[in-house]
């Protein structure tokens, strides 16, 4: 079973930045597309961004221009850099596959508030 461990959440003021990391194990990471997702209170989980094994990226409209997904295959890790954060970005952030899914991890809480 693939295991995913997220880290990097926190409390940040509007306009601030955070970087999430997600390390995968029990997978040939370099051949696997990955994604970041989020779930805000009372809302369904939604896609934030994906990155293919070849490095092609795709973003939700709300993430374009503010968030950047990247990967380090040597570390089996996918990152999500979030800049210009807004209160509406407050959510639990998760990583998982892009077109495949394994069990969801615990996620990391991001709270954007002044």
Non-local (6+) Cβ contacts of 70 within 8 A are: 51, 78, 79, 81
Q: In which residue are the tokens 């997702």 written?
A: 37
Distance (Å, whole) CA 46 – CA 60 = 9
Q: What is the pLDDT of residue 28?
A: 87
Mean pLDDT of all residues in 55-81: 97
Assess whether pLDDT exceeds 90 at residue 70: yes
Assess whether pLDDT exceeds 90 at residue 80: yes
Q: What is the pLDDT of residue 39?
A: 97
Nearest CA among 93, 103, 73 for reference residue 4: 103
* Residues 15-46: tens digit of each pLDDT: 999 999 999 988 888 889 999 999 999 999 99
Report the number of secondary-structure helices (H) and strands (E) in the chain.
0, 10
Q: What is the pLDDT of residue 105?
A: 87
Nearest CA among 40, 48, 56, 57 for reference residue 96: 48
């Amino acid at each position: 079973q693939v295991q995913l461990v997220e880290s990097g959440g926190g409390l940040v003021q509007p306009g601030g930045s955070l970087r999430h990391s997600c390390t995968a194990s029990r997978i040939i990471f370099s051949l696997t597309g990955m994604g970041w997702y989020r779930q805000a209170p009372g809302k369904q989980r939604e896609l934030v961004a994906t990155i293919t094994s070849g490095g092609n990226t795709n973003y939700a409209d709300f993430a374009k221009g503010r968030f950047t997904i990247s990967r380090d295959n040597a570390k089996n890790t996918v990152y999500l850099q979030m800049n210009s954060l807004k209160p509406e970005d407050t959510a639990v952030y998760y990583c998982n596959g892009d077109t495949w899914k394994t069990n969801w991890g615990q996620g990391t809480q991001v709270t954007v508030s002044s």
